[in-house]
Chain A
């Protein structure tokens, strides 16, 4: 690959005379997965296809080097970031995730953790190139998991543990009982109720305490307010009892939040995240899948849509269309127009598909066949 030697020597012989940052072009092309991803990256960046061809065939021109260098540098950074983050996804952490996710558990029933790790790493690198938005969401989630595992959020949990010890807070009796329920569905239902009630209490109290109008505890003239209790012993004692009650209530919710029982964690997850969950308690990645049935349009619907598109194209062509012979018009409708329509539809659907673009590509085989089978006589032109 002499063009590569030429390319690399130009990279190294630049102004700074330093080795390029990240993977070199030779390294990218020598690795099957990296070279495929680099190809995808060139496509994503809408690079001139001729540049890709020149790169593959080893006929790069001088002007290509600078452009490629810019692309290589960004590509290398993206891949490096994906690799760095996906280091967290090791066998141990995947097994741990499976303990909290029935979905991942099912996947691990089908493949060994090592395979799941490899698939994730490869897909994550590809995603860094092709789907920046999803990559960013997952990256941010991995950072949270890493921070948690590395103890960066430990201060908060330690604070809760200190309080538990200081006030000798025990789990609510109801919580202890709920955790012992043998039937899974009943146990989950009981835990969900406890978490909902507890969180309701804590949220109500927090809203009240932080409300500008009634925020008694937040008022800077706190002591003055206390003095307003008319210095009547009974009233103050009653207020202390009330504060104790609230502290017990908050303390119990905090204590349950550091209980590592998976069912309780799941109940917290559902209550606190406040998302719409299906019966498995999941959401996110699978939601996008439901735009797919749009490709399952009936023939009548497709004909109607194609007619609108054809009318527009004929209008755009103007005199060129009028000048065409009957045969040329028929040929256009049968080939170029149908191909354009299929391509436009794919682009449109892919925009909606997000994570599940693979599924669209499967469906498009049947979609293409449907469009191809429509006879030109079904259109008016």
Chain B
């Protein structure tokens, strides 16, 4: 397994980094994956996997938080609806008695 990095590859990566485009950098790392030494391949694999794990956990946290807020709102709305309906029934009852 090659343990040194090709100079041209390193220079190309440096140029891409200077552009500051993360998506392009990731594509470069993947496209040239096999040209990197094994230790670097491991770091790249770890970076992609860690990122996916963190992103997925963030998504779960955010959706769960939103769902909790939504459920809380629905409970409050149910409560107010029930109060309004009670009030409506009371009016109907009063009006019925008046008749």
CB-CB under 8 A for A356 and B43, given A250-B74, A269-B62, A286-B22? yes
A259-274 near B? 1/0 per residue, CB < 8 Å: 0000001001100110
Q: Are A289 and B25 touching (Cβ within 8 A)?
A: yes
Bound CA span A246–B79, Å: 13
Q: Are A257 and B67 touching (Cβ within 8 A)?
A: yes
Bound CA span A140–B63, Å: 17
Q: Are A273 and B83 touching (Cβ within 8 A)?
A: no
Q: Are A145 and B57 touching (Cβ within 8 A)?
A: yes
Bound CA span A206–B72, Å: 9
CB-CB under 8 A for A134 and B84, given A268-B63, A280-B23, A289-B25? no
Bound CA span A355–B10, Å: 18
B12 close to A (CB within 8 Å)? no
| Stretch from A24-32, A74-82, A290-298 that touches the partner | A290-298
A100 close to B (CB within 8 Å)? yes
DSSP majority for the A interface? helix
Q: Are A289 and B49 touching (Cβ within 8 A)?
A: no
A237 close to B (CB within 8 Å)? yes
CB-CB under 8 A for A110 and B71, given A116-B49, A272-B63? no
Q: Are B84 and A226 touching (Cβ within 8 A)?
A: yes
CB-contacts of B49-73 with A (<8 A)? 49-73
- 30 pairs, CB–CB < 8 Å, chain A vs chain B: A97-B53, A97-B56, A101-B51, A104-B48, A119-B42, A120-B45, A134-B50, A141-B53, A160-B70, A163-B71, A202-B66, A217-B80, A226-B84, A233-B92, A244-B81, A246-B73, A253-B66, A254-B70, A254-B71, A254-B74, A269-B55, A273-B59, A280-B22, A282-B22, A283-B22, A285-B54, A286-B51, A287-B22, A362-B5, A363-B10
Interface residues of B (CB under 8 A from A): 5, 7, 10, 13-14, 17-18, 20-23, 25-26, 30, 33-34, 39-74, 76-81, 83-85, 87-88, 90-92, 95
